Structure 1
Amino acid sequence: MKALLKILFRNHWKGIFLIIILTIIDVGAQLYVIEIIPLILTCIKSGLYEDTFSMIDEVIMAIFCSIISTLFISYLSTSISSNFALNLKEKLFSIVMNINTVDEYSKINFSGLMTRLIRGVDTEQSFVLVFLRRILLLFVAAVWVIYSLIDMNLLFAFAFTIFLFIYGFLFILKLNQSANTYFKVKKLNGKLNNLFRDNIVGLKTIKLFSKEKYSSDTFKKAADNAYNEGYKFQNSLNFPYVFLIVMHIAVILFMLWALFIFDSNKKLAVDVFLALLYLLYLINHINAINPFIDIYSLAYTSATRIEEVLALERTPTHSNKKESDFKGIEFNNVSVNISDREILSDISFKIPQNSKNLIVGPVGAGKTSLIYSLIGTYKINSGSILINGENVQSESWDEKICLISDNLFLLKDNVFENVRLGDESITRDVVISACRDALFTKDLSFEVNEEGNNLSSDFKQRLSISRALAHDCEIYIFDNSFSQIESASKKIIKENIKKRLSDKIIIFIDNAFEDYQDMDNIIVMKNASIVDHGNHDYLIKNCETYKSLINYSGGK
């Protein structure tokens, strides 16, 4: 919650300050009306009608000021809460879209993530709205009432201030306790839902292994825990009503005290009447904080989830110092471990600019892991990866590397929009040229269904290649990107790629060797390590692993 409040006050402090000023005007106008009512009654009783009409004019002006202030407060609070929610949604979307490391993925449950975040931000918006309209008003009203009581009776004002201070402390403490309880309830309900889903999905397996009793007991225990915590939470929400009862008792005692000391002193009678009106005014605003109590627990839970994502925001770091003068890609003694398993071991090699490269190796050799470490999906444990002398761990290369894999994301839109993918700088001519090189023959206006269900696997891969060729990057990586394309077309597409991207770094990951013998550099991998690298002629003479792979594929 603290992180979100910092964002709110940092970005909208001017508007909040203006709301505070308007709230002071609003409360001042309302209390002025309360203060002048006894004087109007006295004037009417005494027959001073001219003074009465003059004071009625002042009351009308005060009411007008209160209405105008309330309207502006309503407008500003709505504007601030809406802008706060919009900016927060954009920030969260940007963070989620830029999450690309395994460590970051593991910190968040991505199932329904954006839905939960958007719903959470809407809750925060409602919370901010209630805070600006109700809580600030209550705080200003309490301060003003105490100030007004000081003029009447210093001892009474002091006692009332101590009472409000103690209540405020207990209120915040109890509110946080309720929010923590509600957070536990949400977690327990989530666990309960998961158990229910798992039981339904795995029902046959459970019955097969005679685990019905175990499953039933586990589910019942989780349900009991959720019920008990939920009961505690609902019961804890009763604490404001206890305070209101105490406040009403205090008002009654105050009235009895006034009657006890009351005599013919008219000033005392007016003061008592005014103090009573002040207390009733404050009680009315305290009654109005119930919406805040209801939404605080929801906002607390949502803020916890949102702040988990905000913590993943990366601060861009730009190093002016070049670690190398080499133009291209450098792997320097790179090792990567995931879940205590080494998936890359002491990898070192160089890929120069404007070069065509192939990475080969048996299944599980570490080819894709090598690429994932290059694009930042895998965090390296030791060594360094440099692109044009800059460390990829400290510089953002996301927009400079294009990865084309068999996991293709397709929009439910036409071919043109699927190729340019929101980049308005890409013209129709560029898209047509890219599709021509990928031998994608569908019209640009052809509507692609959800997940490309109306396209064959062959055409999905061609569309993926078209998208890559239309975007201008420095490095292009084709990871098993031609597996569904028939041989004759595959060869033409590869040749088109080599010609079109002749001034770029091209990296192919493939074990089909017949189209790659003209590669500038072939990297051979096995058991998470590099066995050898060089051109085809060198490797066919000196690398047994390479020769075995060629023989296994039926190549020469």
Structure 2
Amino acid sequence: MKNIRQTLSTIGKMLSPLKKSIPSIFLIFIFLLIDVYCNLTLPSYTADIVDVGIQNTDFNYIISVGTMMMTMVLIGVLATIALSYFSSKVSAAYGRDLREISYEKILKFSNFELNKISRSSLITRNTNDVYQIQIFLGLLFTTILFAPILGIGSIIKAMELGTDLLWIIVVTFASVAILLGIIFIRTVPYFKVMQELIDKINQTSREILMGMPVIKAFIRQDYEEERFEKTNEEFKEVNLHVFKTLFLMIPAMTMILNVMIVLILYFGAYDAINGKILTGTIIAFIQYSTQIVISFLMLGGFTIMIPRILVSGRRVGEVLNTEISISDGPIDKIDENPTIEFKNVGYSYPGSEKETLKDISFKLEKGKTTAIIGGTGSGKSTILNLIPRLQDVTEGQILVNDKNIKEYKLSTLRERISYTPQKAILFQGTVRSNMQVGKEDATDEEIEKALNIAQVDFIESLDDEVTQGASNFSGGQKQRLSIARSIMDKRDFYLFDDCFSALDMNTEAKVKENLKDLKESSSILIISQRISTIMDADEIIVLDEGKIIDKGGHDYLYKNCDIYKEIVSSQIERSEDLIYDNEETASFTIDSSSIKKAAGGK
């Protein structure tokens, strides 16, 4: 029962875009009926011309009936054109709206949903699968509804002719049904495989294209070519099997149709000789029989498409039915000068037996810079993802002004947070358009100010092009543009996820100096592996295997935390560069030559 309700819900969601096209669908049905009517009347006119006009050599009657036939043909052509126009319009609009609905749903996905359905599969579902459904909808109006109406009408018209040749239609129908059944059984299992292989091709292509620098560096081009060729070859073999089988249908149907006509002419000739049937009636019967077979052929073609449509529909339906794990809360306002507090927070990735974070507690406050440092995989980036609710805690809670973060609307929460991710992501367009992602109505003066803070001194104007993937900028340049974008608008919390790693020490020092003004009215959280990046933070949190080992200022941690001291020692080659100001507190400064020797990057 639950599965039935879910199926009906999915169908409802997928059909909802058609509400806008109801007037056009109504016109489609009218033109469809007109087209069918015109097709059904033509054989009768042919019979009348042969049996009456030609038989009685009545030229005026032939002209009169012929004129009616031409009128019906003209009306049928116009109806077919209108039918094709409106069906194309409706199906194209449906495909557009379904992609929009699906895309809007994908944009709400958290990291959990994005890990559940791969990104390459989401691309395939929102393009290829939606396109398959769109094609089906176009065929539904022009073929699938047309064929049974034409077929049933032709059967009725053939029966009205009063011949004893109907058994030929029955035999022909049985032959067509058996042929379609064989083709259906041989092709159905492969349509699901085809869609999965399209996913695999997209995934392999995306992985190869994104990993091109690594592939070239390790001279793995031949291996990757073979890997892609293997996937492509699998897809080719499945396609060949399916379409070889499908293409057998055309000559087989042609043969069945011709055999039917021969049988009608053979047995109809005896009836005509014996005076049981007129010649025109035989011709009309052949035409109606042909229309019946063509109708079943159309339906057969649709039947073969059903498995692929069902697979595509199920895959798109999975996207629409995916439950969003992170949803809005009721609170739509956050007071001024908010604080964020982690209270015994734990997090485990879905399907993982090991906790990524355990018992994490700290607080972000206005005027305070907090830094997190730790080894790879210690959970640093996960903490940042929890703050804007890209992921949700599995234990404990995060409090915003002493209220659970889940009680706030996502837009309300995120508009108070600026997040600079570890990987600098820029969008195709211009420098200006990328900066306006951070603030939609930003003026050129505001953009230039942010660019100056982030030390973006390598562009000529705000209209400089940003290519796809920002391939026309270096890693450090992309990071500086990303930092500039994140400080475009005033926010209460600025989160920097190791976004200084590609900057040289001198540039990093200048950017950090410029960012100090943010601290006066906001809270800053920095994740980094560089000591030079975090050493002047008000509080440094040391993570190891998802746990907070210690926290405090730089001087305190260097003296009391072995892990932190080990990190410092690994990044500063000569301990004699450490100049202790006070032997008792072990406070010290590091001169510029030592900083330049510090190792950076994760």
Determine the structure 2 residue equivalent to 1:467: 485
SS in 1 for 2:374: coil
Q: Gaps spanning 5+ residues in structure 1: where? A: 207-211
Determine the structure 2 residue equivalent to 1:512: 531
Identify if the C-alpha distance between structure 1 residues 452 and 182 changes in structure 2 by more than 3 Å, giving closer, same or farther.
closer
Identify if the C-alpha distance between structure 1 residues 462 and 205 changes in structure 2 by more than 3 Å, giving closer, same or farther.
closer
Determine the structure 1 residue equivalent to 2:370: 358
Identify if the C-alpha distance between structure 1 residues 254 and 386 changes in structure 2 by more than 3 Å, giving closer, same or farther.
farther
The residue correspondences of 1:113-262 to structure 2 (distance < 5 A) are 114=123, 118-152=127-161, 171=180, 174-175=183-184, 177-184=186-193, 230-231=240-241, 234-235=244-245, 237-239=247-249, 242=252, 245-261=255-271
Tell me, in whole angstroms, the C-alpha distance in 2 between the residues paired with 1:360 and 1:523.
5
Determine the structure 2 residue equivalent to 1:482: 500
**1:340 aligns with one of 353, 365, 368:** 353
Tell me, in whole angstroms, the C-alpha distance in 2 between the residues paired with 1:489 and 1:225.
50
Tell me, in whole angstroms, the C-alpha distance in 1 between the residues paired with 2:388 and 2:112.
12
Q: Determine if contact 2:420/2:486 at 8 Å carries over to the other structure.
A: yes
**2:382 aligns with one of 369, 389, 402:** 369
Deviation string for 1:493-518 (max 9, x for gaps)? 33543434644443222453787656
Cα displacement (A) at 1:316: 8.1
Determine the structure 2 residue equivalent to 1:209: none
Q: Which moved more, 1:81-90 or 1:251-260?
A: 251-260
Cα displacement (A) at 1:66: 0.8
Identify if the C-alpha distance between structure 1 residues 52 and 239 changes in structure 2 by more than 3 Å, giving closer, same or farther.
closer
The letter of the residue matching 1:104 is L
The letter of the residue matching 1:363 is G
Tell me, in whole angstroms, the C-alpha distance in 1 between the residues paired with 2:324 and 2:181.
33
The residue correspondences of 1:511-530 to structure 2 (distance < 5 A) are 512=531, 517=536, 519=538, 523-530=541-548
The letter of the residue matching 1:438 is A
Q: Indicate whether 1:431 and 2:441 are aligned.
A: no
Q: Indicate whether 1:110 and 2:120 are aligned.
A: yes
Cα displacement (A) at 1:343: 1.2
SS in 1 for 2:525: strand
Identity %: 19
Q: Determine if contact 1:99/1:105 at 8 Å carries over to the other structure.
A: no
Tell me, in whole angstroms, the C-alpha distance in 2 between the residues paired with 1:224 and 1:393.
49
Identify if the C-alpha distance between structure 1 residues 381 and 135 changes in structure 2 by more than 3 Å, giving closer, same or farther.
same
**Count of matched residue positions in the alignment of Structure 1 and Structure 2:** 537
Identify if the C-alpha distance between structure 1 residues 154 and 33 changes in structure 2 by more than 3 Å, giving closer, same or farther.
closer
Q: Which moved more, 1:124-133 or 1:170-179?
A: 170-179
Tell me, in whole angstroms, the C-alpha distance in 2 between the residues paired with 1:116 and 1:161.
42
Cα displacement (A) at 1:363: 1.4
Q: Which moved more, 1:410-419 or 1:113-122?
A: 113-122
Q: Determine if contact 1:26/1:69 at 8 Å carries over to the other structure.
A: yes
Q: Indicate whether 1:280 and 2:293 are aligned.
A: no
Q: Determine if contact 1:23/1:140 at 8 Å carries over to the other structure.
A: no
Deviation string for 1:73-113 (max 9, x for gaps)? 121122123223333444455455554415523532639x7
Tell me, in whole angstroms, the C-alpha distance in 2 between the residues paired with 1:295 and 1:429.
57
**1:409 aligns with one of 399, 414, 425:** 425
Identify if the C-alpha distance between structure 1 residues 274 and 451 changes in structure 2 by more than 3 Å, giving closer, same or farther.
closer
Tell me, in whole angstroms, the C-alpha distance in 2 between the residues paired with 1:26 and 1:349.
73
**1:76 aligns with one of 86, 92, 99:** 86
Q: Indicate whether 1:60 and 2:76 are aligned.
A: no
Tell me, in whole angstroms, the C-alpha distance in 1 between the residues paired with 2:474 and 2:566.
29
Question: Under a length normalisation based on structure 2, what TM-score does the superposition of the two structures give?
Answer: 0.70
Q: Indicate whether 1:331 and 2:345 are aligned.
A: no
The letter of the residue matching 2:453 is D
**2:17 aligns with one of 11, 30, 34:** 11
Q: Gaps spanning 5+ residues in structure 2: where? A: 1-6, 209-214, 572-577, 579-586, 589-602
Tell me, in whole angstroms, the C-alpha distance in 1 between the residues paired with 2:407 and 2:277.
77
Identify if the C-alpha distance between structure 1 residues 76 and 274 changes in structure 2 by more than 3 Å, giving closer, same or farther.
same
The letter of the residue matching 2:79 is S
Q: Determine if contact 1:317/1:394 at 8 Å carries over to the other structure.
A: no
Tell me, in whole angstroms, the C-alpha distance in 2 between the residues paired with 1:253 and 1:393.
77
Identify if the C-alpha distance between structure 1 residues 541 and 413 changes in structure 2 by more than 3 Å, giving closer, same or farther.
closer
Cα displacement (A) at 1:68: 1.5
The residue correspondences of 1:289-308 to structure 2 (distance < 5 A) are 306=316
Identify if the C-alpha distance between structure 1 residues 445 and 27 changes in structure 2 by more than 3 Å, giving closer, same or farther.
closer
Determine the structure 1 residue equivalent to 2:599: none
Determine the structure 1 residue equivalent to 2:591: none
SS in 2 for 1:334: strand
Tell me, in whole angstroms, the C-alpha distance in 1 between the residues paired with 2:491 and 2:149.
57
Q: Indicate whether 1:39 and 2:48 are aligned.
A: yes
Cα displacement (A) at 1:430: 1.9
Q: Determine if contact 1:477/1:506 at 8 Å carries over to the other structure.
A: yes
The letter of the residue matching 1:238 is L
The letter of the residue matching 1:344 is L
Deviation string for 1:264-314 (max 9, x for gaps)? 767776655433321122334556679768977776666566555555574
Tell me, in whole angstroms, the C-alpha distance in 2 between the residues paired with 1:458 and 1:286.
64
Q: Which moved more, 1:291-300 or 1:423-432?
A: 291-300
Identify if the C-alpha distance between structure 1 residues 317 and 116 changes in structure 2 by more than 3 Å, giving closer, same or farther.
closer
Deviation string for 1:360-416 (max 9, x for gaps)? 233143222211333445554334445564554995359534321341123455432
Identify if the C-alpha distance between structure 1 residues 170 and 428 changes in structure 2 by more than 3 Å, giving closer, same or farther.
farther
Identify if the C-alpha distance between structure 1 residues 135 and 101 changes in structure 2 by more than 3 Å, giving closer, same or farther.
same
Tell me, in whole angstroms, the C-alpha distance in 2 between the residues paired with 1:384 and 1:69.
64
Tell me, in whole angstroms, the C-alpha distance in 1 between the residues paired with 2:420 and 2:198.
40
Tell me, in whole angstroms, the C-alpha distance in 1 between the residues paired with 2:179 and 2:472.
62
Question: Under a length normalisation based on structure 1, what TM-score does the superposition of the two structures give?
Answer: 0.74
Identify if the C-alpha distance between structure 1 residues 549 and 373 changes in structure 2 by more than 3 Å, giving closer, same or farther.
farther
Cα displacement (A) at 1:429: 2.0
Deviation string for 1:436-458 (max 9, x for gaps)? 22232343344456655665554
Identify if the C-alpha distance between structure 1 residues 514 and 468 changes in structure 2 by more than 3 Å, giving closer, same or farther.
closer
Identify if the C-alpha distance between structure 1 residues 119 and 358 changes in structure 2 by more than 3 Å, giving closer, same or farther.
same
